[in-house]
């Protein structure tokens, strides 16, 4: 987290730190998944081991910054499909307007994990969960690296059943909607466009 927050961190170092945080978030985001016992033949004998009871959850990065979390989550969940959700912010209403959504047809048979490094006002996360639920998702988890205190209740109010997993809860939002102290623009820092 210190590497992510430090202004001098280069984009490759930023992506690498994001990968490691994503792995930890993925462990937390999968902790609740039901398992069943499977029988596995080891080189020595038969072992009873827990495996996921249902299809692995769908990963849903929010374009663009969420893409930087996919590698870490896909390392833990290599069989998970990856849906995409894109929204831009309307300058007048300040509300997110969806411009892209593509998800697997079997969304209703698996959970969904929304990936967005920064939960600021919560508007985009709320829109992503609304869209996923409309597409049939029943068990939705939102994962963010840093959340603002404004965004957490906004998500809980709109989607009380959605799970929220974050690595840090920061102080507040600034007038432009940046999280303080935060880490700046996560997409720009991950992709070198700042
Ligand atoms: N999105 C970002 O990338 N950073 C913030 O601080 C808030 C939203």
Per-residue pLDDT tens digits for 121-147: 999 999 999 999 999 999 999 999 999
* Arithmetic mean of pLDDT over the chain: 96
Which tens digit of pLDDT belongs to each residue from 53-100? 999 999 999 999 999 999 999 999 999 999 999 998 777 777 899 999
Our answer to whether residue 124 is catalytic in this structure is no
pTM: 0.96
Q: What is the dihedral of CA 24, 188, 122, 56, to 10 degrees?
A: -40
Structure confidence at residue 147 (pLDDT):
98
Mean pLDDT of 47-56: 97
Q: Which has more pLDDT, 92 or 168?
A: 168
Structure tokens at 47: 């072992």
Ligand 1 mutation target, pool 11, 67, 94, 186, most atoms within 8 A of CB: 186
Question: Active site residue: 3, 64, 130, 188, which one?
Answer: 188
The ipTM of this complex is 0.96
For CA atoms 31, 61, 140, 56, give the dihedral sign.
negative
Mean pLDDT of 149-154: 98
Structure confidence at residue 90 (pLDDT):
78
CB distance 127 to ligand 1 below 6 Å: no
Asked whether the beta carbons of 31 and 57 are under 8 A apart, the reply is no
Asked whether the beta carbons of 185 and 120 are under 8 A apart, the reply is no
- Under 8 Å CB-to-CB from 129, ≥6 apart: which residues? 114, 140, 142, 155, 158, 159, 162
Angle separating helix axes 151-158 and 123-134, nearest 10 degrees:
20
Structure confidence at residue 89 (pLDDT):
79
CB distance 182 to ligand 1 below 6 Å: yes
**Other CB atoms within 10 A of residue 81 CB:** 18
CATH of domain 2-191: 3.40.50.2020
The domain limits of the chain are 2-191
- Under 8 Å CB-to-CB from 176, ≥6 apart: which residues? none
Quote the percentage of the chain above a pLDDT of 70.
Answer: 100
Question: Active site residue: 20, 89, 138, 171, which one?
Answer: 89
CB distance 188 to ligand 1 below 6 Å: no
CB distance 179 to ligand 1 below 6 Å: yes
**Other CB atoms within 10 A of residue 90 CB:** 10
Asked whether the beta carbons of 97 and 124 are under 8 A apart, the reply is no
Structure confidence at residue 149 (pLDDT):
98
């Amino acid at each position: 987290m210190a590497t992510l927050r430090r202004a001098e961190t280069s984009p490759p170092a930023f992506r690498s730190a994001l990968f490691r945080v994503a792995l930890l978030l993925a462990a937390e985001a999968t902790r609740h998944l039901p398992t069943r016992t499977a029988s596995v033949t080891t080189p020595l004998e038969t072992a009873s081991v827990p495996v996921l009871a249902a299809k692995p959850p769908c990963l849903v990065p929010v374009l663009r910054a969420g893409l930087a979390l996919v590698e870490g989550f896909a390392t833990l969940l290599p069989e998970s499909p990856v849906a995409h959700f894109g929204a831009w912010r309307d300058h007048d209403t300040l509300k997110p307007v969806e411009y892209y959504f593509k998800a697997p047809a079997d969304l209703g048979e698996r959970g969904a994990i929304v990936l967005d490094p920064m939960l600021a006002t919560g508007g985009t996360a709320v829109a992503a969960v609304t869209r996923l639920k409309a597409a049939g998702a029943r068990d939705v988890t939102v994962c963010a690296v840093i959340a603002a205190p404004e965004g957490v209740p906004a998500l809980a109010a709109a989607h009380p059943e959605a799970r929220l997993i974050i690595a840090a809860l920061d102080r507040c939002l600034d007038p432009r909607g940046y999280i303080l102290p935060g880490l700046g623009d996560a997409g720009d820092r991950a992709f070198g466009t700042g």
